[in-house]
Copies of this chain bind each other. A is one copy, B any other.
């Protein structure tokens, strides 16, 4: 399969670099991610990264895109499961959103750090749209959506609430000392406050 005689060519450097970002960000936070550090972890020269990414920002953009898709995956799973069990799909998707932010805070931060990524990148934008799609999908059966691309006020409120809660948990002063499960419980309670908005 792979020829390992010569160590000169790595073979999967682009992906390995992403994995290195993954590991360093998970351990030490996204601000601690360094091109040289990633290269060293893989056992490769610092300059080699530039054969695969235009600059550090491009690498972080791909990483953010990957993280977005991981979040979207989790939301999809939650949605399908809720639909199977006849539960509230929107609620399940929102809970998955916050759960991901609490489980992988560095990934969640990287997703939205506009100054660190190329936020106009096509793949990145596609990932955000996929994400938004799962949030909207909870509404299609209750509210007639005017424009599939744009958001209804209810949809935007749902996204804002869940995104704001995740951000306040991750970077803000809310429930800083509490356990993960307590935060999820709190999330559930807060989200239930939204029910009268959607069932009027």
Number of this chain's copies in the complex: 2
Known: A112-B167, A114-B171, A125-B173. A196 touches B197 (CB 8 A): yes
Q: How far is the CB of A21 from chain B (nearest CB, A)?
A: 15
Q: How far is the CB of A121 from chain B (nearest CB, A)?
A: 11
Bound complex: CA of A189 vs CA of B194, how far in Å? 15
> Does A116 touch B at the CB level, under 8 Å?
yes
Q: Which of A21-78 contact B (CB under 8 A)?
A: 29-31
Chain A to chain B contacts (Cβ below 8 Å), 26 pairs: A31-B115, A31-B116, A112-B172, A114-B170, A114-B171, A119-B173, A125-B173, A128-B172, A129-B173, A132-B173, A153-B186, A153-B190, A156-B174, A157-B193, A157-B194, A159-B168, A160-B160, A160-B161, A160-B162, A160-B165, A160-B190, A161-B161, A163-B167, A163-B168, A164-B165, A196-B196
